[in-house]
Amino acid sequence: MARIASIQRVTKETQIDLSLDLEGGEVSISTGIGFFDHMLTAFAFYARIGLKLQVKGDLYVDGHHAVEDTGIVLGQAMKEALGDKKGIRRFGSCFVPMDEALTFTALDFSNRPYLVFDAPMPQERIGSYDSCLTIEFMRAFAFNAGITLHQKCHYGSNAHHITEGLFKSLGMAVRDAVKVEGEGVTSTKGML
């Protein structure tokens, strides 16, 4: 059974076209924000998913709408591609060191969206990317995918390294959580 999704979202602030394949495939990202493209490419690589994404946003304002709306659409696509979630491992976690920074992600495809984010950013900007947008992306992704998501930077002094560690650990945790290991739903309740 294919675990794929394609979503288009058009608002007055953004136009997004996204295709997702949980079994892998091409990764092609264009959001107009170089550092964000780099982070999403790293996420897809470590999650071992196929991801085609085109975003046109109101970048003359700033990157907020493009980043947050990308999180919304990616979360919706993840939820759609997983369907009834039968057989998936459900939980995933990963530590990622990036030079001086150590980051951690733990998540649960529980259908109970929640975000705990503890990763202060020492610098306000990473290229044209506002470092405060990382939490906005993670919140939008978690709530639209139905994920309980916890992320923490244990220590670090470089916002680039911290953010990259968070996206990579997210990818690796997603990879583990969406693995098919059985036939039923991974829940003592019998449903998610």
Rg (CA), the chain: 16
For the four alpha carbons of 145, 158, 39 and 129, in that order, the dihedral sign comes to positive
Give me the chain's average pLDDT, please. 96
Q: What pLDDT score was predicted for residue 187?
A: 72
3-state secondary structure of 115: strand
Q: What pLDDT score was predicted for residue 192?
A: 73
pLDDT in tens, 126-182: 999 999 999 999 999 999 999 999 999 999 999 999 999 999 999 999 999 999 998
CATH number (3.30.230.40, 3.40.50.720, 2.60.40.10, 3.40.50.1820) of 4-177 reads 3.30.230.40
Residue at token pair 């309740």: 189
With vertex at residue 26, the alpha carbon angle to CA 22 and CA 30, rounded to the nearest 5 degrees, is 105
Q: What pLDDT score was predicted for residue 164?
A: 98
Q: What pLDDT score was predicted for residue 177?
A: 98
Q: What pLDDT score was predicted for residue 182?
A: 84
pTM for the predicted model, two decimal places: 0.96
Domain extent listing, the chain: 4-177
Q: What pLDDT score was predicted for residue 47?
A: 98
pLDDT band at 184 (very low <50, low <70, confident <90, very high): confident
With 90 as the cut, is the pLDDT of residue 1 above it? Answer: no
pLDDT in tens, 48-59: 999 999 999 999
**Residue 108: HSE in the Cβ half-sphere, 13 Å Cα cutoff:** 13
pLDDT in tens, 63-72: 999 999 999 9
Residue 161 phi/psi, 5-degree rounding, is -65, -40
pLDDT band at 83 (very low <50, low <70, confident <90, very high): very high
pLDDT band at 183 (very low <50, low <70, confident <90, very high): confident
Please compute the mean of the pLDDT values over residues 100-107 and round it to a whole number.
98
